[in-house]
Amino acid sequence: MENKRINCHLCRHYYVTWDPSFPRGCRAHQFKTRELPSLQVFRASGHPCYAFEKKPSKGNNDHGRRV
């Protein structure tokens, strides 16, 4: 697999926590961190995050118009 950066903000498992010490979290890996979770995963495993799933797009494609 190619080494590309994973953008956690686009992942469905990423969330913002209420913990000021660990403001970012990953539901798939079940941890909270100060950095982006994908960086922690890469540092620990040497591989990009395999749990990444792109968030579904908000809204519809026709911008509210009926076809």
Alpha-carbon dihedral sign for residues 18, 19, 25, 28 = negative
More confident residue, 2 or 39: 39
Per-residue pLDDT tens over the stretch 30-63? 999 999 999 999 999 999 999 999 999 886 655 5
User: CA geometry: angle at 61 spanning 56 and 65, to 5°?
Assistant: 140
Q: What pLDDT is attached to residue 1?
A: 47
Q: Is residue 1 part of a domain?
A: no
Q: Is residue 50 part of a domain?
A: no
More confident residue, 36 or 5: 36
Q: Is residue 38 part of a domain?
A: yes
Q: Is residue 61 part of a domain?
A: no
Query: What residue numbers bound the domain in which 28 lies?
Result: 8-45
Alpha-carbon dihedral sign for residues 40, 44, 46, 50 = negative
Report the domain count for the chain.
Answer: 1
Give the separation between CA 67 and CA 20, rounded to whole angstroms: 46
Which pTM value belongs to this model?
0.76
